[in-house]
């Protein structure tokens, strides 16, 4: 059976849209979140530590809630972990130890220093 999703250039007509969360609001996370919004996904939460990263998130992801990493995890189907390379292992360990990761949730990191083992 073929489905008619309407005009494919309209992001609202694309199937399989995800609720996206961004942990780490440096240069990469908000930019990826904004790109995913353009593709029809919905960024639902972001976290950032510094005032600069929070301003960047507010600029590139207007209206998106700025919350803690566990709150981002609770709100999102797809979580972008865009923290610095040296922070990533402890962040992942902490999220796993506290049960913040749900079955079926998709986690993606942007670290060039770590592979899938992290």
Contact 34, 60 (CB under 8 A): yes
- Please report the domains of the chain, with CATH numbers, ordered by start residue: 17-109 (3.40.50.720)
The answer to whether the beta carbons of residues 101 and 95 sit under 8 Å apart is yes
Token pair of 42, please?
Answer: 């919905």
Nearest alpha-carbon partner for 11 in 36, 30, 32, 29: 36
Integer CA distances (angstroms), 117 to 33, 79, 92, in order: 24, 17, 11
Query: Who's near 54: CB < 8 A, 6+ residues apart?
Result: 25, 48, 66
pLDDT tens string, the chain, 118 residues long: the values are: 444 545 656 655 666 689 999 999 999 999 999 999 999 999 999 999 899 999 999 999 999 999 999 999 999 999 999 999 999 999 999 999 999 999 999 999 999 888 888 8
CA distance linking residue 40 with residue 5, whole number of Å:
13
């Amino acid at each position: 059976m073929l489905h008619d999703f309407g005009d494919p250039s309209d992001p609202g007509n694309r199937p399989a849209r995800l609720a996206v969360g961004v942990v780490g609001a440096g240069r990469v996370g908000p930019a990826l979140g904004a790109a995913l919004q353009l593709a029809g996904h919905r960024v639902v939460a972001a976290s950032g530590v510094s005032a600069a990263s929070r301003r960047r998130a507010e600029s590139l992801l207007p209206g998106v809630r700025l919350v803690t990493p566990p709150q981002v995890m609770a709100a999102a189907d797809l979580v972008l972990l865009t923290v610095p390379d040296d922070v990533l292992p402890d962040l992942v360990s902490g999220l796993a130890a506290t049960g913040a990761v749900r079955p079926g949730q998709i986690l993606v990191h942007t670290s060039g220093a770590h592979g899938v083992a992290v």
